[in-house]
Amino acid sequence: MLFNFVVNQHLFLALARQKTDALKNGLEDLPNIPHSCQWLNFIRHHDELTLDQLSKEQQQEIFDAFAPEETMQIFGHGVRRRLPPMVQNDRPRIEMIYSLAFSLPGIPLLRYGDEISMGDDLTLPGRDSVRTPMQWSDQPNGGFSTAASNALPRPVIADGEYGYQQINVASEQRNPASFLNWIEHLIRTRRQCPEFGVGKWRVLTTSEPSVFAHLSEVDTTAMLALHNLSDRPCSITLPQLEYHHWVEVFNDNFSLIRSDRSDQSYQSPHQNPQSLPLNAYGYRWFQIHLSH
């Protein structure tokens, strides 16, 4: 596997613009790979968000949107922040971004702390801002260590909305509506949709420039993923597909997904759904089949 830096950088450019063209370009720039190899899709990792493959103008667009202060930037072409502070801890937007990353062609990567929406510490030098200890509980040092706080290589985030008293694994495990439980649901669903990892993929043209739609096909089944990069709701139309049995398996509104699978199916013997609504930062996954 190789870290997919090309798509990662173009993804953030698309997020900054709230338009999908940059992400499409990044995917089209990828070379063909051997069957035994795979791309590793990530949002953030242990270093900075590097933007070295983008132009200075494109880098500045991302800085303006996600790292407007000089202390948030590094090396002249990087962002030393975790995702939640970059998007003002906007839960719907964070969900949409991870849903998109998990549906892109390849293998998704989660770095420690992503699953509980950990923040960063910009008072630390360089890359250390995103390398603070894992926040396991509301106990001293976030449950990371029983050593004296000043003996830790880097301090635990202790203050503000990202402090370990507010954000930690133990408290999120007890909260059904927590981001941790949402991530676990995302992982379980992704494991049931292998088409995203091994299928032949193609980007679909939609009626909205903010909506990224792509299809991953294996034999007679496929996964269709829709993601609205914009802060405005919309409805989209898609090109005609040969698939007629649609089952919605994941979305940003849990009330749409019921235990009765027949309630969540779109079945039409002749045509696709004419219009599909998406919330602001909305996302929807469909498993679709060729009719027999």
CATH number of 2-191: 3.20.20.80
Supply the pTM of this predicted model. 0.92
Write out pLDDT tens, residues 175-208. Answer: 999 999 999 999 999 999 999 999 999 999 998 9
Q: Which residue has the higher pLDDT, 90 or 260?
A: 90
Write out pLDDT tens, residues 260-292. Answer: 433 444 444 334 566 899 999 999 999 998 765
- Of 52-66, 159-173, 254-268, the least confident: 254-268
CATH number of 197-290: 2.60.40.1180
Q: What is the mean pLDDT of the chain?
A: 91
Q: Which helix (H) or strand (E) holds 290?
A: strand 283-290
Q: Which residue has the higher pLDDT, 258 or 26?
A: 26
Domain ranges of the chain: 2-191, 197-290
The neighbour count for residue 124, using CB atoms within 10 Å, is 16
pLDDT at site 272: 59
Buried/exposed code over 160-180 (b: 16+ C-beta within 10 A; e: otherwise)? eebbbeebbbebbeeeeebbb
